[in-house]
Amino acid sequence: MPGKQALDGVTVLDCSQILAGPFCSMHLSDMGANVIKVEKPGGGDDTGRMGPPFIAGESAGFIQLNRNKRSIVLNFRANRGKNAFIRLAKKADVLIENYRPGTMDRLGLGYDDLNQLNPSLIYCSISGFGRTGPYAKRAGFDLIAQGMSGIMSFNGMPDSPPVKVGVPLADLNAGMFALSGILTAYVHRLKTGEGQHIEVSLLESALSYSVWESSGYFATGDIPGPLGSTHRLSAPYQAIRTADGYLNIGAPNQANWERLVRAIGREDLLADNRFKDNPSRLGAKMELNKELEITFVQHPRSYWMNVLEDAGVPAGPILDMEEVWSNEQIQARNMDVQLEHKTAGMVRNIGIVAKLSVTPGAIEKSSPLLGEHTDEILEFAGYSQAQIESLRAEGIAGPDALISRTG
């Protein structure tokens, strides 16, 4: 029988905003971690104001990224706010931040500062370019990282202007590398009691995805260009036009290629020297696409899906979001999770991908309102009710906290 969640009892102090850090802490909270979202005065996480779309005034993106978390608004640039933050950091197992390198150090809240107070703290810093190197102090965004990592140079169609990946790949991958680093550091801490500092950059997170392109460049010195939906190492492995839309087919080896052409009634292609083996097909991708399209445009996607599935050829339709979220496989795998939000009503969430058999994750509560849990979090840090009221009255904590207070 499934037991409690794997990260029950782990406290995460999440000072990050927008995407990479919150995406990381979302996965930690899904696995049972107590994630305390520390939000800045004057509106909190910038994602809360990003949109449209909004649902009853709440950012749809913020709702998606911040489920299972609790929110405190705290001005930790003020002395009393800084002291409250330090009290929370002393009780935390993990801290996540994505300020420009040096910001937390200047506030006296950097890794070296907090390590003196909590040597077991795992401190994760996410930035555009990392804490060292000539670009360390530069601001970084997903778009910038996609461009500087080379990804935009080989994405899109040949002879097209640069095209970014449709999802914020650098941000999301940085979040996943941060997650991997935190969990690895946590295993080390379980063995030794020792915390450590983790650095993750958007640039390196994007660059890590260029496995085929970088390895090819290392081997040959050739600079890869955009290929559309085709593959660098095998063909056919691409989107093919049908009578009513596009279909992805994967025939990356000779056995699949032969199954494909027999299934679609194009045995003549087996005798065509242009397509006799994978290197030949790679060298004649345009001709190959034309030959396949002649056949595939004669019938709709559903027809070809049945034909290819019966033949054992990997294939799948290219779905839009409406089609994705009505797809029977997605629904069968509990990937569409509905939760009641305090102001937005019933909202839908992307489900948990890693399905653990003994300690499964859970999406139990929707995203918090700004500063919703300020009092209970301060109580967790050891403050009395009178002290909490004083922090609120002075504009240090709570949804009405002041932006510029420094006392």
Residue 171 a catalytic site member: yes
Long-range contacts: 323-332, Cβ < 8 Å, 24+? none
> Which of 45, 93, 171, 375 is an active site residue?
171
- Which residues have a Cβ under 8 Å from the Cβ of 268 and sit 6 or more positions away? none
Q: Which of 358, 352, 347 is nearest to 335 (CA)?
A: 352
Q: 3-class DSSP state for residue 4?
A: coil
CA distance 355 to 147: 34
In order of 5, 54, 183, 360, the CA distances from 357 in angstroms are: 11, 35, 18, 6
Beta strand extents in 329-385 (DSSP E only): 336-341, 345-350
Q: Which of 175, 177, 154, 174 is nearest to 164 (CA)?
A: 154
Radius of gyration of the chain measured on its C-alpha atoms:
25
Buried b (16+ CB within 10 A) or exposed e, 62-80: bbbbbbbbbbbbbbbbbeb
CA distance 84 to 269: 71
CA distance 304 to 307: 5
* Enzyme catalytic residues: 171
